[in-house]
Amino acid sequence: MLGIIGGTSLLFSTLPQLEKKRIDTPFGNADLLLGDIALLMRHQHGLPPHRINFRASMAALAIAGVDRIIAFGSSGSLNREICPGSLVIPTDYVSMTDIPSIHDHAIEHVMPSLSPDLSEKLHRIIPKARLGGTYVQTRGPRFETIAEIAALSRCADLVGMTLASEATLAGELGMPFAAICTVDNYANGLADGVLTYEEVLEISKQYRDRTGEILNTIIKNLG
């Protein structure tokens, strides 16, 4: 079963008709929308990124029978060539914050990755998305400082607060993981003015129809 993770970029899009179900896991519970696919909205109950129970969310997808995941990620651009409104399928990631693990009581070393095969399939059905680039995860909920962005831009192209944790846990649970990032803004210091969360939401609203079309394309071709 295909699992889809949605965040800010899906808040204003029309979602498929699915049945809401609460899944209990060893790490807590998570609400999924279930049918031919499983849809997880990551900011459940209005939780900011640093308070998301990633272990419960990813375990719930595995318990529901998900065997591959595509995540939507709202992100900021660290690269002036990747302008707001762009779509990017990242191929690697960096984390500047602690990533949770399901292996709290055993020594397990999992090789983290974004699935090349699933990323290629995603690019074939959404050719307007740029394939390639590195995503860096920060803790949130605050935006990064200008100095932090200057440093991060040397090793990454996009910045966000969720995908590295989700991808790593998906790997631990044996679920190939790929992501499509909607670029909502230039990161702090790369554009004029002061970045606000309201600005990010407004951009998501502007692209809600496109995001809904992408969601439907993914379900139709990969579900």
Average pLDDT (43-47) is: 77
Across 45-54, 94-103, 200-209, least confident range: 200-209
**208-222 vs 116-125: helix crossing angle, rounded to 10:** 120
- pLDDT the model gives residue 28: 95
| Structure confidence by residue, pLDDT tens digits, 58-85 | 999 999 999 999 999 999 999 999 999 9
Identify the DSSP state of 26. Answer: B
Return the higher-pLDDT residue of 164 and 9.
Answer: 164
Q: What angle do CA 27, 32, 35 make, to 5 degrees?
A: 140
Give backbone dihedrals phi and psi of 221, rounded to 5 degrees, phi first: -100, -25
Residue-wise pLDDT for 132-175, tens only, equals 999 999 998 888 999 999 999 999 999 999 999 999 999 999 99
Helix 54-63 and helix 163-172: axis angle, to 10°? 40
Q: Give pTM, 2 decimals.
A: 0.92
With 80 as the cut, is the pLDDT of residue 14 above it?
A: no
- As a whole number, the mean pLDDT across the chain is 91
Give the whole-angstrom CA distance, residue 183 versus residue 185: 6
Beta-carbon neighbour count of residue 26 at 10 Å? Answer: 9
Q: Is-contact 17 35, C-beta < 8 A?
A: yes
Q: In angstroms, how far is CA 47 from the centroid of its own chain?
A: 15
The whole-number pLDDT of residue 36 equals: 94
pLDDT over 70 at 12, yes or no: no
Domain 2-104+113-222 has CATH 3.10.520.10: no
Contact 175, 168 (CB under 8 A): no
193 or 96, higher pLDDT: 96
